[in-house]
Amino acid sequence: MPNKLSPLLKRSAFTVVVGCGRLGASIANMLSDEGGGVVVVDQERESFNKLSASFGGMTLTGDSTDISVLDEANLGAAAAVVVVTGNDNTNIMVAQMAKELYKVKHVVARLYDPARESVYREFGIDTISPVVLSTREIRRLLQIEERGDIEENV
Amino acid sequence: MKTPSQRIYLIGGNNKAKLLARSLTERGYTVAAINASAEICEELALIPHLRVYNGDGSLPNVLDDASIHDADIAIALTGKDEDNLVICQLCKKRFGVKRTVALISDPRKTEFFYKLGIDSVVCEVTSVASIIEQQTLMNEFSTLVPIGDGRIKISQVPIPADAPSVNKRVMDIKLPNHVIIGCIVRGEDGMIPRGNTVIHAGDVLVLISSDEQESSVRELTGRESEM
């Protein structure tokens, strides 16, 4: 099958965002606003409604665990892949496919489960866990408040 | 008979898990099942000598609670390739399970799974297709077992009366280097051929080959291979 996307994409560095939920759409909008090339992949066409009106990247409807869909997204030429579907195990598999099959340098996967997140970080995948990030941020905010309290008391 | 000492964990799956659990416990293995569905767990619990844990086997804490580190073999049987990948990787890398087996539905991912360190990858589609092929082409040349992603094949070749190899010694048949005759099935008997073994009409040869299977079939039977 002829690859419709590749001639356009080869010209510049681009990022593939897998999963167009709130996080995926937000990342895609950000990258596009910054002038970067973006391909967003999602199983549901309606998910792309979350993209902003100014989004200048490309969308691809399909199952991201399907090798032919990843081929069509031209993963082999991508500078980075961000895997943020709603399913941890899908994210783990697609991230490893990007690394092993397409040799993508920068692969980031979002994992909801912190226990799985720590395991896969050990395996060499850049993972982020919303729970861990939120916990850290909340702790930081609490510490600032505490310090504020202490300073007030001095 | 010596009782097998291996501990086997079956993770996920429904009918396959039940069937394997029955067959393996009957053969004396120590078997445990982990399943995310409470309903399937209740049915699994009816199988004698089977330990059953309810939970999602792709979660490290569920595997930990089920003492997966005791396992010698972990078999991931869920219906989703990605779940089976994660189950096997966690079992192997996190919990030190010696042997992991993953069931997959997409044949194109077989090599990828091996690359990621899964010890055995069983592809449902490929296996079923090969069994159907074997059953329907019983009298023709057929591949019995594809090994190593199909690169090595064990196949059976029936020898018709008009075959050029009939009444010839094995050593006189010009077989390619990549093919050996592993076994000759003659009537009820199976025999391991030597150089001076003579091939009879009606023999079924079991070939092990890494390449050039077609030309050896032509050499033996005088027919074109249909594979």
CB of B216 closer than 8 Å to CB of B207: yes
Top CATH class of B7-127 equals alpha beta
Q: Where in chain B is the domain with CATH 3.30.70.1450?
A: 140-221
Position B227 scores a pLDDT of 42
Q: Do B116 and A89 touch (CB under 8 A)?
A: no
Domains of chain A: 6-129 (3.40.50.720)
**Is residue B5's pLDDT more than 70?**
yes
Position B172 scores a pLDDT of 87
Position B69 scores a pLDDT of 94
How far is CA A101 from each of CA A94, B112, B115, B198, B199, rounded to the nearest angstrom?
10, 7, 10, 49, 47
What's the whole-number average pLDDT of chain A? 88
**Is residue A52's pLDDT more than 70?**
yes
The predicted model gives A59-70 an average pLDDT of: 96
At B147 the three-state DSSP class reads: strand
Residues of B in contact with A115 (CB under 8 A): 59-61
Nearest to B93 among A66, A90, A123 (CB): A123
Position B67 scores a pLDDT of 96
- The CB-side HSE value for B17 (13 A sphere, CA atoms) comes to 30
Position B112 scores a pLDDT of 94
Q: Which of B39, B8, B2, B1 is nearest to B22 (CA)?
A: B8
pTM for the full model?
A: 0.75
Position A7 scores a pLDDT of 43
**Is residue A99's pLDDT more than 70?**
yes
For residue B65, what is the DSSP state? H
CB of A66 closer than 8 Å to CB of B109: no
Q: Do B58 and A89 touch (CB under 8 A)?
A: yes
Residue-wise pLDDT for B26-62, tens only, equals 999 999 999 999 999 999 999 999 999 999 999 999 9
Our measurement of the distance from residue B4's CA atom to the centroid of its chain's CA atoms, rounded to an integer in Å, reads: 20
**Is residue A1's pLDDT more than 60?**
no
**Is residue A9's pLDDT more than 50?**
no
Q: Does B55 touch chain A (CB under 8 A)?
A: no
**What is the CATH superfamily name and number for domain B140-221?**
Regulator of K+ conductance, C-terminal domain (3.30.70.1450)
Q: Residue A3: pLDDT band by 50, 70, 90 thresholds?
A: very low
The helix-helix angle for A114-122 and A88-100 (nearest 10°) equals 10
Instruction: Please report, in angstroms and rounded to a whole number, the separation of the first and last CA atoms in chain A.
Output: 72
Q: Residue B105: pLDDT band by 50, 70, 90 thresholds?
A: very high
Residue-wise pLDDT for B115-156, tens only, equals 999 999 999 888 888 777 766 665 566 666 667 666 777 878
The predicted model gives B88-100 an average pLDDT of: 95
Q: Which of A9, A28, A12 is nearest to A20 (CA)?
A: A28
B50-54 and B30-35 beta bridge pairing: parallel
Position A154 scores a pLDDT of 56
Percent of chain B at pLDDT > 90 equals 54
Q: Residue A127: pLDDT band by 50, 70, 90 thresholds?
A: very high
CB of B118 closer than 8 Å to CB of B109: no
Q: Do B86 and A101 touch (CB under 8 A)?
A: no
Position B3 scores a pLDDT of 60
* d(CA A90, nearest CA chain B) in Å: 6
Q: Does B145 touch chain A (CB under 8 A)?
A: no
Position B209 scores a pLDDT of 80
Position B220 scores a pLDDT of 75
Residue-wise pLDDT for B191-210, tens only, equals 888 888 999 988 888 888 87
Gap between the Cα atoms of B125 and B120, Å rounded:
15
Could you say which residues from 74 to 93 on chain A have a Cβ atom under 8 Å away from some Cβ of chain B? Answer: 87-90, 92-93
* d(CA A120, nearest CA chain B) in Å: 9
For residue B160, what is the DSSP state? -
Instruction: Output the CA torsion sign for A31, A32, A37, A39.
Output: positive
Gap between the Cα atoms of B120 and A27, Å rounded:
37
Q: Does B107 touch chain A (CB under 8 A)?
A: no
**Is residue A2's pLDDT more than 50?**
no
Q: Do A100 and B58 touch (CB under 8 A)?
A: no
Q: Which of B91, B55, B54, B94 is nearest to B76 (CA)?
A: B91
Tokens linked to B216: 């050896």
- Amino acid found at B172: D
Tokens linked to B41: 């767990």
Q: Residue B92: pLDDT band by 50, 70, 90 thresholds?
A: very high
Q: Do A101 and B112 touch (CB under 8 A)?
A: yes
Q: Where in chain B is the domain with CATH 3.40.50.720?
A: 7-127
Position B224 scores a pLDDT of 58
Q: Do A115 and B81 touch (CB under 8 A)?
A: no
How far is CA B217 from each of CA A147, B64, B102, B104, B160, rounded to the nearest angstrom?
83, 52, 33, 32, 12
